[in-house]
Structures are given as C-alpha cells and as structure tokens.
C-alpha cells in the first residue's frame, strides 16, 4: 500500500462508488468534479448501462476541468436473473425487480475489490447503500467516506425516530407525534413514515430483509471515516451542529454540489439525454415574464396514477400560471386526454438546473427529493412541496416549517405510487400561494437570500469550500496519523 506521507498533492487518488440511481449518481459526479478542482485524482466506478450518466457530461467538462476517469465494472444480471439492461432503480418497475436489484448491488463487492487492487487509491467514497464498502476499504488500509444523498435535517430526524420510536406511542396512523430531541418542534404522523418503519410496528416479516439491510448500512457507516453531506452550513446550521455534536458523527458539508456546473452546457448535460433541445427550452423561457412560470417535476422514481395526473393538470389550468411540466407518463397506458392544452410539457428527462436558474421561473412543484430542494435553493426558487416516499416527508418539514420557503399540497401518506389523493383545488391553492401575493413575495425574498448564501458557501473561503479543503487535507495526512 503506497504511503501518503510524502505524496505530492495531485497524487491523492479518490475512488467514487455511487449507488445505481440518478438521484445518487448525479451528485456523486458533481462531488468528483469538486475533488478534482482541488487537484485530487478522481475515478468513478460504475456499471455498463449507467456509464453514460457520467461519460456524456464529462465530454463537455473536459474543456473546463481536470480529467475524471470512469472505471466500468460488470453488472451481475445473470447471477440475479435480472433482465439485460436493468441496472438502475429507474428501470425496476415492480417490487420483484427492486428486490433483485438490491441483491445485485451486494454482488458488486468483488468487482469493487478488484478496482481497489488495480488502482491502490488513498480513499473510497461510497454510497451509504453499499454496506460492505467500509470493510473493503479497511482491507486496503484506506478510509471509507459515506455519501448519503440527503441533508443534515433528515439524517437527524431519521436517527431520532429510529432511536426513540415516538411513533409507537400513538394509537392511530393519523395522530401527530413530536420527533424528540431535535432543535425544533417537528410533528409527523405514522402515515408519513417509510413503510418498513411503520410495518415494523406490527413485526411484518416481508420487511425483515430490508430492515436488516438498512441496519447493516447504519453499522457500516458508524465504522467509516465519516460522512460527506451535500448541504451548506448556513442552510441547516442547527442540524449540522446536532449531527456532529449531539449525535457525535464526523461529517463535512460540501454543497450545494450542483453549483460546480457553471456553464449552460454543463447544466444541460447533467443526468440523461434531455428530451427537449436546450435552445428550444431557453427560447420558451425567454419569452415569459420574470418569476411567472411554475416548474413541475417529481424526479425519476415517482409513479402517478392517471387520475392523479388529471388532478395535477386541472390544478395547473385553474392556477392561471404559466408552467413547465415534466411528465414521466402514467402508470397505466390510457390515452392522455388529461394533458393540459397550454404550458410546456417535457417528456422524460429535463435539464432541471438550467430551467430553475432561468429568471422566468417563479416556483417549483417538487417531490422533495434532496437534490431538487438544493437545486431550488441554489436558484432562489420557492417550492410547492409534494413528498412521496424515501426521506421526502422530512425534507418537506425543513422547507415549509424551518426555512419557510414553501407550501405543502397536503400529501398525507408515504407511498410508492400516488393515487388521486391530492385534489386539483389543493394543488391550485398551493401554487397560488407560492406565486401570487404577499406570502409569495416573502417566500421569494427568503429564497433569494438563501441563494446568495449557497453561492458564497462554495466560493473560496466559504463554509463548504473550507470544509472540503479541510477534508482533503485530512485525507492527505491519513497515513501519517494511522
């Protein structure tokens, strides 16, 4: 194992190992760019079908920053009897496929070891959902850093719910309970908790495997060198402090990482191929008044019934606002007579950062995925919050109750598929509150201030820049202190 004691700065080599989902891969690519901009050699490890998510954006990045390498490892489709090409959670359209994909991710341990053997890097940054990564890194005598893909607030909320189980002391699923020992009084209902936590209440066996898997991820994290958080100190100061001082975790906030993409081209090529031309998109936005357009997008994994899509369409029409709606398509293959007649409809993948950064955007209807929230904050855009699953119900609380830059549509239950449980009038009402009137102006003003703070955080001397510099410094001297 090469010692780092007399290593030249550029010889520090970090391997990045993102989970096979766009919400994890895209920020990991941005983090690799940030490390690379600090003269660190960076290599991203991924599978054949996921490679274009990295290779395409890096083609345009070559003119801007240092080289980032991609190492492609085989995906265990045959071993897990997955259909060829299903290497990403976006393509896992049934619970059976999701279960097989989880199993497949555990089989990536062997090829990861082979990569570490080949490169002898100085550090491994692996997604939290690879529980084997800490042990693998230890075999090579290097630190493993965990990437969560979410912010401090949700990490603190989840920890408190797991540790203190406040949801077990209430009688009904609709009754509110307070999440204990947090800096603010935050209330939730049992319906808004992930199914495996809710059903663990009833000792449901179906979830045992998932619970065990998540437990091993938590244990692996506890043994790791620390956690990288895509956030900035000024956004959730109380929770960054709580995470480090009260929970005792070692963590570095280095975000918002999307801000490393300065040029329009870099913003456009994040993620998959966009289904709209960059210039057509900007031309449409340029023709609209400042802060007049509502952007509607629910991420790559959200599923909506046709009846719920119809309610969204009616809510958008009734609001009277201009809008861009990114439609993934309905779950059932009915005809799409429900599509609104006006507005810009984008099918499939949209260049989200490019859109949010445009002056004509005034609000964002979002599923509260952490990347989307941070991207909105970085662009100074208030939000209409519609959490669906994952940690999104916690994120909603941060936006609406702590930062006060958003209004909820009233989503009540953690669920993979959204049926028509949010009515068009609630959607219309929330959109109007974010776009029109004094409340909207107040939220916009708060959001604009956070945008300034976000940009200062990643600039030289800012809180995130300093945390990243400090982390890299510690990695450089890691072998000296062992």
Catalytic residues: 24, 127
Structure tokens, 116: 């570490």
Closest by Cα among 417, 306, 410, 401 to 365: 410
**Whole-angstrom distance, CA of residue 47 vs CA of residue 108:** 9
| 8 A C-beta contact, residue 479 and residue 3 | yes
Report the DSSP beta bridge partners of residue 227: 146, 251
Integer Rg of the chain from CA? 22
- Provide DSSP, 90-103: GG--SHHHHHHHHH
Contacts (Cβ under 8 Å, ≥6 apart) of 187: 176, 177, 178, 179
Give the angle subtended at the CA of 374 by the CAs of 370 and 375, to the nearest 5°: 115
Chain-centroid distance of CA 302 in Å reads 13
The answer to whether 13 and 39 have CB atoms below 8 angstroms apart is: no
DSSP lists the bridge partners of residue 294 as: 323, 363
Cα dist. 54→40, 71, 87 in Å?
A: 18, 11, 15
Q: Residue 189 gets which letter from DSSP?
A: E
Number of helical (H) and strand (E) elements in the chain, helices listed first:
19, 17
Q: How far is CA 119 from the centre of its chain?
A: 29
Burial class (CB within 10 angstroms; exposed 0-12, middle 13-18, buried 19+) of 283: exposed
* Pair 21, 89: CB distance under 8 Å: yes
Alpha-carbon distance 230 to 464, whole Å? 9
- Cβ partners under 8 Å of residue 40, min gap 6: 10, 12, 13, 14, 472
Judge whether 318 and 258 are in contact, CB under 8 Å: no
Residues 6+ apart with CB under 8 A from 416: 303, 388, 389
- 15's enclosing H/E stretch is strand 13-17
Q: Could you tell me the two tokens for 299?
A: 């991420």
């Amino acid at each position: 194992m090469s010692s780092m004691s007399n290593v030249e700065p550029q010889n520090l080599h970090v391997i990045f190992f993102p989970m096979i989902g766009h919400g994890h891969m895209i920020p990991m690519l941005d983090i690799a760019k940030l490390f690379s901009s600090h003269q660190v050699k960076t290599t991203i490890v991924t599978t054949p079908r996921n490679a274009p998510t990295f290779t395409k954006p890096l083609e345009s990045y070559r003119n801007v920053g240092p080289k980032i390498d991609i190492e492609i490892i085989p995906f265990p489709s045959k071993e897990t009897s997955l259909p060829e090409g299903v290497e990403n959670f976006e393509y896992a359209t049934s619970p059976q496929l999701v279960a097989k994909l989880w199993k497949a991710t555990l089989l990536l341990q062997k090829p990861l070891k082979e990569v570490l053997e080949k490169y002898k890097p100085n550090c491994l940054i692996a997604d939290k959902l690879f529980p084997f990564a800490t042990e693998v890194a230890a075999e090579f005598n290097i630190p493993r850093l965990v990437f969560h893909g979410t912010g401090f607030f949700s990490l603190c909320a989840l920890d408190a719910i797991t540790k203190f189980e406040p949801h077990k002391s209430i009688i009904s699923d609709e009754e509110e309970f307070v999440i204990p020992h947090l800096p603010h009084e935050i209330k939730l209902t049992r319906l808004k908790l992930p199914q495996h936590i809710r059903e663990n209440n009833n000792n449901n066996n179906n979830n045992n495997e998932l619970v065990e898997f998540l437990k091993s991820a938590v244990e692996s994290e506890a043994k790791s060198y620390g956690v990288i958080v895509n956030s900035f100190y000024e956004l959730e100061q109380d929770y960054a402090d709580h995470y480090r001082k009260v929970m005792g975790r070692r963590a570095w906030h280095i975000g918002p990482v999307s801000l490393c993409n300065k040029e329009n081209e870099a913003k456009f090529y994040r993620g998959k191929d966009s289904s709209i031309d960059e210039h057509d998109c900007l031309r449409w936005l340029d023709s609209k008044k400042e802060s007049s357009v509502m952007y509607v997008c629910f991420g790559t994994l959200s599923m909506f019934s046709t009846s719920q899509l119809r309610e969204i369409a009616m809510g958008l029409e009734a609001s009277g606002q201009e809008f861009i709606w990114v439609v993934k398509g309905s779950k059932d293959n009915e005809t799409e007579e429900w599509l609104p007649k006006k507005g810009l409809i984008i099918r499939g993948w949209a260049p989200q950062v490019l859109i949010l950064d445009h002056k004509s955007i005034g609000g964002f209807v979002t599923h509260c995925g952490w990347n989307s929230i941070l991207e909105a904050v970085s662009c100074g855009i208030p939000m209409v919050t519609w959490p669906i699953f994952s940690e999104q119900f916690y994120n909603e609380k941060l936006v609406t109750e702590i930062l006060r830059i958003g209004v909820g549509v009233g989503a009540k239950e953690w669920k993979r598929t959204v049926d028509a449980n949010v009515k068009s009038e609630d959607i219309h009402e929330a959109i109007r509150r974010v776009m029109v009137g004094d409340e909207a102006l107040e939220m916009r003003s708060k959001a604009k201030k956070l945008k300034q703070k976000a940009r200062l955080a990643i600039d030289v001397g800012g809180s995130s820049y300093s945390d990243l510099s400090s982390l890299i410094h510690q990695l450089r001297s890691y072998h000296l202190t062992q």
